[in-house]
Structure 1
Amino acid sequence: MLRLLSIRNFVVVEALDVEFDDGFSVLTGETGAGKSILLDALGLLLGDRFESRQLRPGAERAEFAAEFDVGDAAAAAAWLSEQELASDDDVLLRRVIDAQGRSRAWINGRPATLAQLAELGERLIDLHGQDAHQALASADAQRTLLDAFGGFTTLTREVGESWRVWRAAVEKHEAAASAAKASVSEREFLEARRGELSALGMTESEWGELSAAQSRLANAASLLETAAHCSEALIDGDDALAVRLSQLMHRLETNSALDPALREIIALVEPAAIQLKEAARALRDYRRRLEVDPAELQRVEARLAAIHDTARKHRARPEALPALLAETDARLLMLAEAADEAMLARRVADAEERYRAVAQPLSAKRRFAANELAHRVTEAMQDLAMAGGRLEVVLIPEASPASYGLEHVELRVASHPKQMLGPLTRVASGGELSRIALAIQVVTSEVGQVPTLIFDEVDTGIGGAVAATVGRELQALGTRRQVLCVTHLAQVAAHADHHFRVAKIGNGATVATTLDRLKSSERVDELARMLSGTEITVKTRAHAKELLEQHRRATS
């Protein structure tokens, strides 16, 4: 669960440190106060992209840090262990972003990539946004929702992998069938080419090695003369560089007693003397290795000519002949396999059988999970001013097997008893969609393993008794998981175990966002503001107290 969030120089936040507890916490505040800043900061800690406008004006860099307790997050703890980033039951995330957009991140003090932050984040936080009903519009999202609810994501991955193996077998079979139509003349041509290339016996590095040897042998006399001349100039001659440098060193050392400053110059000259000796030694070795060998030169040039003639015949670069032989072998193998159509057909059948061996159990699990999800969401809808409404999760067989299984998923809903079931996005109004999405989120969150749930204004479009029900649902969820909720409804906020108020202070020139944990009396004022707007009256304060009292009685 999230224990601490620290923000520096982010948008209008100069410095903010927030400690969180378990249970149900709400963040409230006036529109524009910066409630979303906390969620955006968390998103950046978990791998989101940073935009330059998010840096506080005048700041050189933004900094973010968060501390999580992973004692109750088995998936996160396992991931940290696999990545060798574990540190007891705590994990500390840190990210620094400068004005140029350069980013650095750490997990438990060790450098981390944004991809690693994102992978870990999926195991630490489950974010439900105010546009959740829009995300549910796609068939992929509806299928993923059902699979996550059922807890068989691993099986879904196995289905995807077996489907890819099957498709690869089908494509190979089809390619081989096409290759089987190749003419006999092609096969004869390839076999002849393979015979010539195999007989040549050329290695991948041979052309380069032979070319270098030919150049060396053909110019051996000139190279020997050059080596002898350089050796004479370096060390062997009476006026050699090494002799003159030795005399120079001797003179400097003699005079260094008169002025110690000369020792610094000696220290610079000494490496040059050593390098000259090394160069002279290398030249002597080179001269010993180099030999004039007409017979070897003739052998090398004959081999080069044979390779060059073969390359010209097959219209290839000489150095590419080994690769051409490999391509020829591969093509001949494909032609040979094409002749064994039965073997390839068996491979396709075996791959399909393995696919169905995992896809069919997935379908059975989906049917069971679909009924359970529909039942539980339908129950939740009754408490959200949708009495008689119902949800069905329909599995529709695909025309052909797919990477995700044998069927696609469609959520169908009726928002009241007289309405016919229809696709989620076609039969529900905007407000109804928000409530249905909320019901789905609450139900699916109950079975998840992520320790911290964040709801960002998911109560948009509801109010009154429905809002109070949402508050009770979130408070109940908070007894099992850590729940953070950004809300503008007093009826929801009244059910929180912990209440934070976000406020913007300052004038037009200097503006900052603050966050305060509210005490009991302060909660009354904040709830009253949420009920009435800017003006708090005796009536709205009384209403706020009543909301808190109702919550106290319900939980006592």
Structure 2
Amino acid sequence: MLVQLAIRDFAIVDSLDLELHGGMTAITGETGAGKSILLGALGLCLGERADAGSVRHGAERADLSARFDIAALPEAGAWLAERELAADECLLRRVVTASGRSKAWINGQPATVADLKALGDHLIEIHGQHAHQALLREETHLRMLDDFAGHSAEVTSLSALYRDWQDKRRRLKRLSEDGEEIQARRQLLRYQVEELDQLALGENELKALEEEQESLAHAEETLREAQFAAECCDNDEAGALHLLNQAVLRLEPLPGSDRGALADILSMLGDARIQVEEASRELHRFAEHTELDPERLAWVEDRLGEVHRIARKHHVMPEELCGLHQRLRQELDGLEGGEHDLETLTTELQALRDQWRQKARGIAEARREAASRFGNAVQEQLAFLAMGKASFKVEVENRETPAPNGLDAVRFLISANPGQPPRPLAKVASGGELSRISLAIQVVAATHSTIPSLVFDEVDVGVSGATAEIVGQLLRRLGESGQVMTVTHLPQVAAQAHQHLHIEKQADADTTLTRMALLDSAGRVRELARMLGGVTLSDRTLAHAREMLDASQHPTH
């Protein structure tokens, strides 16, 4: 419920703090006094478009705020909680500068205009004086019927299904259009990966092959030289070992004093003889284990040749083949997955289409059932509004082309006179009739609204007399279960209100300002007398106003 509206430097209002209550509140004043300013300020707080003309002349900015009690609005509370803005109350604030720029806040945190609009949909409903124009559009008829039926959540779910369905349809179309190019790439990758699979080059195999080829290619030369070296070590007549033995044999017999001086030399020759003997044994062992394997050499060289050939074919170095193989395999897996995606999308698309149609058929049945109840409810209100002979009907027609909100077209039809078939509102209703029809529809819609705060902006245009009194009674009845604010020019309507706000324009030589006040009983009588048409408030007019107010506030039935 709207509990406070604060206005600073907006239009011709310098400062206004308005406390609001439940029930029905009438807002009245002379033409041009600024009744629309109140709703304009509220509209800006709810995200309507702002411009520099909103700022009071001479001021730098307009500052507007609306405070709501959201205890009975769980959807608004959930919206705030999702954005970590939860509180016991909801404060919307909008500042518009003289240059036309604006800023917005929700519970003290910066917000966008779109945020204000989205949250505002959970806080209050405004039925404007031009609402009957919206009633000429069929999309309005569908929305109002869904709100009346109470399955707006199901329609929202249906719309989400439709968006998902259409998104998958577009993705499937793109995949299908790209199919030939993707298929060609897939075939090439399959061939390339299969070729590299057959090559099956190990991670470190290339280096091992190159080392083995080097060894095998020089095996014969290595064996020959090893054997020659062994012969140099242990040949019986000219080998190093034989010569070392001869040297030792010559030095050992030397006599006396020379024997001591040669001891170290003889030790070194002994060590050398041991080293040569060991080298000789190792050379013979090496020669014995060195084999000439031309077949293995041929296989290794063929294997290396194949590796280099495929590397050249892919324009990479041989050592890059393993990485290339992995990349091509990953790309192929991705495309194979895309082929799977195509099949999966086709299946999912069919499932979504079937799910959407099943849900749409269920909603269509609910709409047809609700259409009868809605039509009867509006018919009943029309009877109250002196149009008892009119016939109102809600037509629900199936259409072939799917839409986000289903397969139904909804039309409000009216026959203002007996014997005439119902026709669309725009084609048969006069201005006065359309105002009353619009009011009847809005009252029915508001009765079934989940939002307890309702604003009616001169929706009683075109009615008068006893019908105007009935309009007031309808609005008062709505206010008894929530909050109703109505801008009106009709005393019969204003008299029905639980509280009465009066707006007046005060002007002097320099400025024109709007003032607003909550009227007491005496003030209400004077205002009703003024609305009854008295330029001068005579005793008779005041008595009539007092009688009207007493009858409205203390009905006998």
Task: Please report the TM-score for the alignment, with normalisation by the length of structure 1.
Answer: 0.71
What corresponds to 1:2 in structure 2?
Answer: 2
Alignment of 1:59-74 (within 5 A): 59-74=59-74
Relative to structure 1, the CA distance from residue 310 to residue 361 in structure 2 (aligned partners, 3 Å threshold; closer, same or farther) is farther
Per the alignment, residue 26 of structure 2 pairs with 26
Tell me, in whole angstroms, the C-alpha distance in 2 between the residues paired with 1:533 and 1:324.
92
1:76 correspondence with 2:66 = no
Q: Write out aligned runs for 1:452-463 (5 A).
A: 452-463=453-464
Cα distance between partner residues in 2 of 1:104 and 1:172: 39
Higher mean C-alpha deviation, range 438-447 or range 69-78: 69-78
Structure 1 alignment gaps of length 5 or more? 200-305, 312-321
Distance in 2 separating the partners of 1:7 and 1:323? 66
Q: 2:16 maps to which residue?
A: 16
CA distance in 2: counterparts of 1:323 and 1:489, whole angstroms = 80
Partners of 1:55 and 1:99 within 8 A in 2: yes
Q: 2:133 is aligned with what amino acid?
A: Q
Deviation at 1:106, TM superposition (A): 2.9
What residue in structure 1 maps to residue 320 of structure 2?
A: none
Alpha-carbon deviation of 1:349? Answer: 2.3
The amino acid of 1:469's aligned partner reads I
| Deviation of the 1:126 alpha carbon | 0.5
When residues 169 and 498 of structure 1 are mapped into structure 2, their CA distance, relative to the original with a 3 A threshold, is same
Deviations 1:440-462 (A, max 9, x none): 11111111121210000001111
Q: Distance in 1 between the 2:470 and 2:193 partners?
A: 79
- Structure 2 match to 1:128: 127
| TM-superposition CA deviations, 1:446-491 (whole Å, max 9, x none) | 1112121000000111111111000000011110010000000111
Kept in 2, the 8 Å contact 1:47–1:114? The answer is yes
Match of 2:377 in 1: 376
Structure-1 separation of matches of 2:472 and 2:345: 60
1:156-175 alpha-carbon deviations (Å, 9 max, x no partner): 12111222233344444445
User: Contact 1:386 / 1:416 at 8 angstroms: preserved in 2?
Assistant: no
CA distance in 1, matches of 2:196, 2:10: 67
CA offset digits 1:253-291 (Å, max 9, x no partner): xxxxxxxxxxxxxxxxxxxxxxxxxxxxxxxxxxxxxxx
Q: 1:21 to 1:187 in 2, by over 3 A?
A: closer
| Contact 1:158-1:358 within 8 A present in 2 as well | no
Which shows bigger deviation, 534-543 or 19-28?
Answer: 534-543
Letter in 1 for 2:126: L
Counterpart residue type for residue 17 of structure 2: D
- Please say if residues 124 and 454 of structure 2, whose CA atoms lie closer than 8 Å, have aligned partners that are also in contact: yes
* Residue 352 of structure 1: how far off its partner (Å): 1.5
The alpha carbon displacement at 1:6 in A equals 1.2
Give 1:282-431 correspondences, 5 Å limit: 345-431=346-432
CA offset at residue 507 of structure 1?
2.8
Instruction: Return the alpha-carbon distance in structure 2 between the equivalents of residues 59 and 428 of structure 1.
Output: 45
Cα separation, 1, equivalents of 2:196 and 2:386? 81
Distance in 2, Cα, partners of 1:333 & 1:47: 46
TM-superposition CA deviations, 1:59-101 (whole Å, max 9, x none): 122111222222222222222222222223x233333333233
Does structure 2 conserve the Cα–Cα contact (< 8 Å) formed by 1:388 and 1:417?
yes
Separation of aligned partners in 2, 1:3 and 1:149: 26
Aligned residue in 2 for 1:282: none
Partner residue in 2 for 1:109: 108
Secondary structure (helix, strand or coil) at the match of 1:123 reads coil
How many residues align structurally?
435
Matched to 1:494, the amino acid is A
What amino acid maps onto 2:49 in structure 1? R
CA contact (8 A) 1:197 1:325 kept: no
1:466 counterpart SS class: helix
Q: Which residue of 2 aligns with 1:96?
A: 95
Alignment partners' CA distance in 2, 1:358 and 1:53? 47
Q: 1:347 to 1:79 in 2, by over 3 A?
A: closer
Write the distance in 1 (CA, Å) between the matches of 2:102 and 2:191: 59
CA distance in 1, matches of 2:329, 2:193: 6
Mapped to 1, the partners of 2:493 and 2:70 lie a distance apart of 28
Distance between the aligned counterparts of 1:170 and 1:548, measured in 2? 63
Partner SS, residue 419 of structure 1: coil
CA distance in 2, matches of 1:27, 1:323: 74
**Structure 2 match to 1:250:** none
Cα distance change on mapping 1:180 and 1:511 into 2, 3 Å = closer
Q: Is the 8 A contact 1:124 1:452 kept in 2?
A: yes
- Preserved contact between residue 28 and residue 487 of structure 1 (Cα < 8 Å): yes
1:495 maps to amino acid:
Q
Give deviations 1:404-455, integer Å, cap 9, x for gaps: 1121111111123232101121111121111111111111111112121000
* Structure 2: runs of 5+ lacking an equivalent: 200-310, 317-325
1:35 paired with 2:35, answer: yes
- What is the CA–CA distance in structure 2 between the aligned matches of 1:127 and 1:9, rounded to whole Å? 23
Q: Which string of whole-angstrom CA distances, capped at 9 and with x for unpartnered residues, describes residues 123-171 of structure 1?
A: 1110000111111222221111111111111111211122223334444
Change (3 A) 1:329 1:135: farther
Aligned to 1:496: 497
Q: TM-score, normalised by structure 2?
A: 0.71
Contact 2:534–2:541 at 8 Å: present in 1 too?
no
Take 2:40 and 2:194, find their aligned partners in 1: how far apart are those partners? 66
Tell me: CA distance 1:530–1:330, structure 2 relative to 1, closer, same or farther (3 Å): farther
Distance 1:410 1:420 in 2: 14
CA distance in 2, matches of 1:123, 1:168: 29
Partner Cα separation in structure 1 for residue 115 and residue 161 of structure 2: 27
Q: Which of 475-484 and 329-338 deviates more?
A: 329-338
SS of the residue corresponding to residue 392 of structure 1 reads strand
In 2, Cα distance between the equivalents of 1:122 and 1:184?
A: 50
Q: Distance in 2 between matches of 1:161 and 1:370?
A: 24
Is the 8 Å Cα contact of residues 186 and 332 (structure 2) preserved in structure 1? no
CA separation in 1, counterparts of 2:551 and 2:494? 12
Q: CA RMSD in A?
A: 3.2
> Matches of residues 144-223 of structure 1 in structure 2 within 5 Å?
144-179=143-178, 188=187
Distance in 1, Cα, partners of 2:457 & 2:351: 48
Deviations 1:375-397 (A, max 9, x none): 10110011112112122111111
The change in CA–CA distance for 1:486 and 1:181 in structure 2 (over 3 A counts) is: same
Instruction: Identify if the C-alpha distance between structure 1 residues 428 and 329 changes in structure 2 by more than 3 Å, giving closer, same or farther.
Output: farther
Q: Is the CA contact (8 Å cut-off) linking 2:182 and 2:335 kept in structure 1?
A: no
Aligned residue type for 1:438: L
The aligned residue for residue 260 of structure 1 is none
Code of the aligned partner of 2:157: E
Q: CA deviation at 1:325?
A: 11
- 1:411 match: secondary structure: strand
Moved more, 374-383 or 518-527: 518-527
Greater Rg over alpha carbons, structure: 2
Distance between the aligned counterparts of 1:537 and 1:407, measured in 2? 58
Bigger drift between 380-389 and 190-199 goes to 190-199
Q: Specify whether residues 85 and 166 from structure 1 end up closer, same or farther in structure 2 by C-alpha distance, changes over 3 A only.
A: closer
